[in-house]
Structure 1
Amino acid sequence: MRTHQDAKAMAKSLRDTLAERGVEIAHSAALEIVARQFGFDSWNILSARIDRDAAPRGDGPAFEPAVPILRIFDEAKAREFYEGFLGFRIDWEHRFHPGAPLYCQVSSGALTIHLSEHSGDASPGGNMVVYMTGVEAFQKGLIAKDYKYNRPGLERQDWGLECTVIDPFGNRIRFMERGSTSSP
């Protein structure tokens, strides 16, 4: 969770999903549920934690981690790849109306990615770098899933060990461990 906007978008998505099932809850109740999902007793505590974590350090601008937007074309394939294969969780989903293109956030640990079916949000075939530790164990875990569309290897590069996956939409994610001493 990076910002209040993320938390509020999750609460809105929760309310919308429940409303589709005939259950109406107040926005404040949805915020409390989101807070509990993150392990906090109340929205006020989560909100204070977000403020503390986002507080600028020093006098200049303070950047947060970038959130790439990747273009997708098929929700089922995206879920199979990002949830099933990579093990990410879907944090929230948004549609302007039923049947509209999906825009959602997936994450794993500190890594956050937005996936969009909207044609203007991103071009297919993007390329991103994700720095991490434990890339060799991560790659072995992916291979063990026996996903028939992707069997990523490990490559030793001058900058460290790299495991590249390509999603069903041609987007390349390069998981890198800097200066890793492991051998492929």
Structure 2
Amino acid sequence: GFTVDWEHRFDDNAPIYMQISLGGIELHLSEHHGDCSPGAHIHIDCSGLKEFHKVLIDKKYKYNRPGLERTFYGSWAVTVNDPFFNKITFNQPLDESEIEA
């Protein structure tokens, strides 16, 4: 999964601001009031999505078992929800053989 690169708080009782990364993806996450909370939704284009989905499912998380969906815009998608109502949708374009004529 993602790696925590760094975390910042102005003091021990302040909200956290942090960076996580996976491969070439870097995300900045914030608990600060008004920083897209609640409900940000981002899309990340990637490859190896079916394998990534299997890794997530094999972990058997109690509250997050995302599906692998075929989208109307020509990709496979896996959407992950975090406890702060944010959504990350990972997308991989369909192969030529998967596109209906």
TM-score by structure 1 length?
0.49
Task: Give, in angstroms, the shift of residue 111 of structure 1.
Answer: 0.9
Which string of whole-angstrom CA distances, capped at 9 and with x for unpartnered residues, describes residues 84-113 of structure 1? xxx111111111122211110011011111
Gaps of 5+ in 2: none
Q: Report if aligned partners of 2:37, 2:84 keep a CA contact under 8 Å in 1.
A: no
2:29 maps to 1:115 = yes
2:89 maps to 1:174 = yes
Task: Give, in angstroms, the shift of residue 169 of structure 1.
Answer: 1.4
Q: What is residue 66 of structure 2 aligned with on the other side? A: 152
Instruction: Quote the Cα distance in structure 2 between the aligned partners of 1:169 and 1:97.
Output: 21
Task: Give, in angstroms, the shift of residue 172 of structure 1.
Answer: 1.0
Q: Identify the structure with bigger relative contact order (alpha carbons < 8 Å, sequence gap 6+).
A: 2
Which string of whole-angstrom CA distances, capped at 9 and with x for unpartnered residues, describes residues 99-137 of structure 1? 211110011011111111110322211111010000000
Gaps of 5+ in 1: 1-86
Instruction: Quote the Cα distance in structure 1 between the aligned partners of 2:82 and 2:74.
Output: 23
Equivalenced residue count is 96
Larger Rg: 1
- Counting aligned pairs with the same residue, the percent is 50
2:51 maps to 1:141 = no
RMSD: 1.4
Which string of whole-angstrom CA distances, capped at 9 and with x for unpartnered residues, describes residues 131-157 of structure 1? 000000000100000000111111112
Relative to its length, the structure with more strand (as a share) is 2
TM-score by structure 2 length?
0.87
